[in-house]
Amino acid sequence: MTDDQSPSSKDLRDRVRGASEETIGKLAQELLGNPIVTGAVQRAMDVRERATQAQEAAFGALNVPTAADIERLTRRVRNVAQRLESIEDAVDRVDERLGSIADKDPGAPNEKALADLAKRLDAIQSSIDALAKDQKKG
């Protein structure tokens, strides 16, 4: 076949296409206007809905997740992942700030000073516990 088509064959094809589209449109309108067809379509949709509900109930009874369950779980996992990513970013920013403070202030507490501070806090906690114990006795 050649790509060149005569104008008369294009006109014929356009007329046939137009006539068939018009015929299909009329047929669809008549079918939609027919109460038997619309009733059958409605019943088919009702049956489909009941079948879906029965399937979900059966999956639930078997403890098998449905596609909707998996979709909800996927959305939740994405949400948790986004939240975790934002927490990681915030921790990184805090770490950078603390690093810059330690770099700027050479007098910032070092590990030995922090260990001494921890010992002092433990001693204070012990004293508080002893006082609380004495109060309960007295």
**pLDDT above 90 covers what percent of the chain?**
36
Query: Which of the 8 DSSP states describes residue 77?
Result: H
What is the average pLDDT value for the chain, to the nearest integer? 85
Q: Which run of H or of E encompasses 70? A: helix 67-104
Contact 79, 71 (CB under 8 A): no
Does residue 76 carry a pLDDT above 50? yes
Closest CA to 50 of 126, 42, 138: 42
Section 32-57 average pLDDT: 92
What confidence tier does 114 reach under pLDDT thresholds 50, 70, 90? confident
Q: Tell me, what's the pLDDT at 99? A: 77
Does residue 98 carry a pLDDT above 70? yes
Q: Considering only residues 114 and 69, tell me which one the structure prediction assigns the higher pLDDT.
A: 69
Section 35-47 average pLDDT: 92
Query: Which of the 8 DSSP states describes residue 108?
Result: S
Domain boundaries, the chain: 12-64, 67-107, 110-138
Q: What is the DSSP string of 3-55?
A: S---HHHHHHHHHHHHHHHHHHHHHHHHHHH-HHHHHHHHHHHHHHHHHHHHH
Q: Tell me, what's the pLDDT at 1? A: 47
Q: Which of 32-41, 109-118, 123-132 has the lowest mean pLDDT?
A: 109-118
Contact 21, 31 (CB under 8 A): no
Backbone dihedral angles phi then psi of residue 65, each to the nearest 5 degrees: -70, 145
Contact 108, 102 (CB under 8 A): yes
| pTM summary value | 0.40
**Structure token pair of residue 73:** 């779980």
